[in-house]
Chains A and B, each alone.
Chain A
Amino acid sequence: MSEAPGLFTALGVLIRRDLLLALRRRAQILNPLVFFVIVVTLFPLGLGPEPNLLQKLAPGVLWVAALLSAMLSLEAMFHSDFEDGSLEQLLLAPQPVFITVIAKVLTHWLLSGLPLLLLAPLLALWLHLSPDAIVVLLASLALGTPVLSLIGAIGVALTVGLRRGGVLLSLLVLPLYIPVLIMGAGAVDAAASGLAAGAHLSILGALLLLSLSLAPWAAGAALRISVE
């Protein structure tokens, strides 16, 4: 075999491949986003259109909806690769497992987190969030959604070999999402009531760094166990 490709080359190749594959199944990208929009729409319908109430609830509603839609799209991260056996090949490939995981996580975020970021301001307007709060919402989503993808990767890696992993996955992952929810919604809430959101956002950043340094290893170990 020729020399192993550099880590970044491997990363780039993997991401390109996954993006291409995902673009062939556009519904898989769109469905979680439509879900996000529908869930947010349900709240005014359930609670009544009173602007003050919606404004008060908006941070929590948007963040919970983001959490759920990120979770819905998680399964796609390893599932098809597991089914057709290419996951096994990827684990045997010369690059370290965590590179594979990071590539998968990045792709997941590009396809679920980033579009969410683009949609969120629109939905925030529906819920009468102030412009300042929308800026903070975007910042918190930008810092928080990668954490969701990273922690989610561990959950999917653990359940990928199971026939009915879907509900189990949410059981495993949602409790671990709680700190992100608290800090994300807290940041927007603070901004909406005219307070500084810096502390919340820095904690979100710390969570991102922590999960970035630990989650790929855990997910890699979990993948090896599942595929073995």
Chain B
Amino acid sequence: MNSADFFHMGGYGLYVWGSYGVALAVLALNVALAHQHQRRVLRTITRSARRDRSCA
């Protein structure tokens, strides 16, 4: 199977790749948002911890 055939998917390329694309986009967004939120929270608490320490 060559790559053109593979992307063509026997004429169903748009539907197949569209499906995989949407799924990938939504799931990647989920992971990215979860990750970003985690980093933001970690940054907030470490910053306040540093502030506490410098005050002490």
Indicate yes or no for A touching B, C-beta below 8 A: no
